[in-house]
Chain A
Amino acid sequence: MNKPMNNKAWFMVLPVVLLVAFSAVIPLMTVVNYSIQDTFGNNQFFFVGLEWFEEMVTSERFHNALGRQFMFTGIILAIEIPLGIFIALNMPKKGWGVPVCLVLMSLPLLIPWNVVGTIWQVFGREDIGLLGAFLKAIGVNYNYSQNIIDAWITIIAMDVWHWTSLVALLCYAGLQSIPEAYYQAAKIDGASRWATFRYIEFPKMHRVLLIAFLLRFMDSFMIYTEPLVVTGGGPGNSTTLLSIDLVKMAIGQFDLGPAAAFSLIYFLIILLVSWVLYTIMTNLDKKGA
């Protein structure tokens, strides 16, 4: 085919290029710019090469925050994914229960992050919080502002409360696309409940599960507002996750250079892990098909 070539057509993409440049590329470049310079004030900067990066990758503070971050993300994924699947499997398939369930489950997703944080912050207080006061009344020693374990339990419970519905709703959508005949055939073939899940429901659900998994990974890896509102990163530094630490460094201490290096490394980790997960899962998908 002989299509007419017109290089002027490239001007058509100009608006998008500008939009992306101003919304993503240029801000990112300013971060890159900070990460390779140092300043002694007066708006005078000088070039330091990769020094900040070297400092960050060897910094114990960064390692600790990263470790806490992986632990947090690992725990909430290990709870939310199976729990979400379990809930989706047990949601009603038709009748009046469907809209009721859908609305109730969407509610946590609609609440702004720092409101969620405030809800749990108050909920867990031992003087006026429903949960905290109740636990105190039955004699459980629970205090998220002083006990590290309690603080972790609180922020994990909060995240599970906030986001499990997302996993459940995505899985539910996957389940709804399975024709009734599959279940009928499984009954006729004498399949157990587990076999029905393993060979019918799971294969039909695993695409949406991949999306749910990636979304929850990225979101939880970047979590900031909720734990900050509840624990402020404490007690000590025990719930200081990556983004909380980053903000402390950049805005609290105004260490722009290290913070810029920090955020670039942070960004690359998310990109890398997401890419690895995506590749593994799509490969599994191909083998499964």
Chain B
Amino acid sequence: MAEIILKNLAHSYLKHPSGPSDYALKKIDHVWEDGKAYALLGPSGCGKTTLLNIISGLLTPSEGSVIFNDEDVTNLPTEKRHIAQVFQFPVVYDTMTVFDNLAFPLKNRGHDKQTIEKRVLEIAEMLEMSDVLNKKASGLTADAKQKISLGRGLVRQNVAAILFDEPLTVIDPHLKWMLRMQLKALHKKLNRTMIYVTHDQTEALTFADKVVVMYDGDVVQMGTPQELFERPAHTFVGYFIGSPGMNVIPAHVEGAQAHIEGCIIPLSQGYKGISGSNVEIGVRPEFTHLSEDGAGLPITVKRIEDVGRHKIVRADFFGREINITVPEGVPISDRVNRVSFEADRVNVYSESWIVDGEVA
């Protein structure tokens, strides 16, 4: 077990990167604490897999270093690092039985027979696979194969971290849930560091203690699911997390007020010295309220989607779409034409990054 430290890490697939856009991974300084469950969340192509492969050693970063505890492992090959990785598509050794698959990493490292057998049986028990140990791995279902991949990581006792690269992509939806719960339970039991790459926010939020959101090669925010939801540090996090994502509206902010198209929106904090065209306010659909006439921004309701637990109202506000979430059971009259925001839930962004206000 170990703490994993990334120092000034950056990676470009080009030999001579000339600008920031040539980097698949921009400069990252980050510490993965021992024993925590992390999710690495971001859209496809944002550098998640690159980061993961650098940690496991499948890729050597072009800049910076990777440190396990106190040991610099940047140039250490994968097999010398104490890392396990589970890939998007289940990898099993087709010609071997499940037992041999699980024993493979130990055999390769020259452990003796008794140790191997004891360890494999233990892990099989944990993964609830004891009854298929003597079956050929190739005949199993995708989720069982994925459990074998995971098991091959777990049998090694000195593994510092287990990395998951979108491991549930090819699993049937009803099994996804079960497997994810099993993973979470395993994490609680083993207390190993787990880093879980996904582009599915539900997966990330349910699995992880801490979620790291990546966007275009940058880590834009790291925090608990709640932090990401309530105070997205970057407008991208606001869009990406939540369904629908945060409403982001360009505004003019002065003191504790935001001005949009001549309307005034009260804020809970005061902001000084931010102005210009790149100021925006962000508010989640969950913290908006519809009303008839009275206070708030004028809107035109365009359509209402009933998604079961709540309704999503898509409305037009000066040519811009605003989403409003209305809880189940609350009627929506056909005369609503105003929306108001909860003042303490409105975040202010400048150049896409959040700005801290002062208590007014």
Contacts and interface: CB of A to CB of B under 8 A. Distances in A.
Report if A and B associate in a common complex.
Answer: yes
A181 interface: yes
A182 B145 CA distance: 13
A185 B79 contact: no
Contact of B104 (A181, A189, A288): A189
A167 B109 CA distance: 34
Nearest to A198: B95
Contacts of B95: 199, 203, 288
Contacts of A190: 79, 105, 108-109
A187 interface: yes
A181 B87 contact: yes
Interface string B40-69: 000000000000010011100000000000
Contacts of A289: 94, 136, 138-139
A203 B153 CA distance: 22
Contact of A203 (B58, B89, B94, B105): B94
Nearest to A181: B87
Contacts of A187: 57-58, 77-79
Interface string A246-289: 00000000000000000000000000000000000000000011
Contacts of A200: 93
Contacts of A185: 85, 87, 91, 149, 152
B137 to A, nearest CB: 11
Interface in A161-195: 179, 181-182, 184-185, 187-192, 195
Contacts, number: 63
A141 B209 CA distance: 78
Interface string B97-112: 0000000110011000
Nearest to A289: B138
Interface in B12-52: none
A182 B108 contact: no
Interface string B140-184: 000000000100110000000000000000000000000000000
Nearest to B153: A188
A123 to B, nearest CB: 43
Given A179-B89, A184-B87, A289-B138, A189 B94 contact: no
Nearest to B56: A188
B138 A199 contact: no
A184 B104 contact: no
A145 B77 CA distance: 55
B222 to A, nearest CB: 25
Contacts of B136: 289
Nearest to A191: B108
Contacts of B89: 179, 181
Contacts of A192: 108
Contacts of B350: none
Interface string B256-271: 0000000000000000
Contacts of B149: 185
B249 interface: no
B83 interface: yes
A179 B105 CA distance: 20
B165 to A, nearest CB: 8
B79 A184 contact: no
A191 B104 CA distance: 8
Contacts of A181: 87-89, 91
22 contacts: A179-B89, A179-B91, A181-B91, A184-B78, A184-B85, A184-B87, A185-B85, A187-B58, A187-B77, A187-B78, A188-B78, A188-B85, A189-B152, A190-B79, A191-B104, A191-B108, A195-B104, A195-B108, A203-B94, A203-B95, A288-B94, A289-B138
Lowest 10 A-B CB distances belong to which pairs? A185-B91, A190-B108, A181-B87, A189-B105, A190-B79, A187-B78, A199-B93, A203-B95, A188-B85, A288-B95
